[in-house]
Amino acid sequence: MTAQLPLSLRWPRRQRFEHFYPGANAVAVAAVQVLSAQARAPWLYLSGSAGSGKSHLLLAACQAAHESGRTVQYLPLKTLRDRAVAIRGVAGSEFIALDNLEMLAGDRDAEHALFDLYNRARAEATALIFAAEAVPTQLSLSLPDLRSRLGACTQFALKPLDDAERREVLKNQAASRGIELDDTVLDWLFARYVRDLGALLDLLDRLDQASLAAQRRVTVPFLRGFLREVSPPSEG
């Protein structure tokens, strides 16, 4: 079953520290960077809503730890079917990131597996970083000892970028590509497209290619036609 674990994950290009825009999360980002670089740094627990950057920071930490020569494992619990088996299969790594901890709530076998991993990692000086939608006391875990262990980590509640910060990031990234995004275009885009920064930056990559191919500026009519063709996500 260990073959199901993402032991040789190819870290996504955009999920690096240099591509994370901290906003109000600068202290949390600094702590994650320290943990990825120092074996004895405090373990971390990140909480926050979708789009707040939890997975981005975990993947960035894994990449940085890997580049420093440490063995790394990343477990996205939302995508793993037998989470207890996956957690028990983690062994021998110096840096372990566990994402989507909320998926363990009510799964007693998986909760016990994580409790055992926590204790084993402490004994073996393995670094752990966790991420979930809520703080440990709000995860509805059935194992009080696990809730206590997770609560002992240094905790940070991540805050998503607000619209003004997202607009500034998009403008700066567009300018670095030679694209001018005026306020009219941004107003139209933010009214009709998801506000998740990762999705917006992916859209910018595709817009860059499409505008170059068409030899056209990115205007509202161009953007409207482009989004109609690619059937984009929407916040409704």
Answer yes or no: are the C-beta atoms of 97 and 58 closer than 8 Å: yes
* Residue 75, SS3 per DSSP: strand
Q: What are phi and psi of 79, to 5 degrees?
A: -100, 0
Per-residue pLDDT 10s for the chain (236 aa) are: 333 334 444 556 678 898 889 999 999 999 999 999 998 899 999 999 988 999 999 999 999 999 999 999 999 999 988 999 999 998 789 999 999 999 999 899 999 999 999 999 999 999 999 999 999 999 999 999 999 999 999 999 999 899 899 999 999 889 988 898 999 999 999 998 887 787 888 889 899 999 999 999 999 999 999 988 875 454 43
Residue 231: its pLDDT value, please? 57
- HSE of 37 in the Cβ direction (CA atoms, 13 Å)? 7
CA 207 to chain centre: 23
Q: What are phi and psi of 158, to 5 degrees?
A: -80, 140
Residue 210: its pLDDT value, please? 92
Say which residue the tokens 């619209």 belong to.
163
Question: pTM of the prediction?
Answer: 0.83
Picking from 6, 2, 131, 156, the residue whose alpha carbon sits closest to that of residue 66 is 6
Residue 4: its pLDDT value, please? 38
Q: What are phi and psi of 89, to 5 degrees?
A: -80, -10
Residue 202: its pLDDT value, please? 85
Taking the C-alpha atoms of residue 180 and residue 218, their distance in angstroms, rounded to an integer, is 7
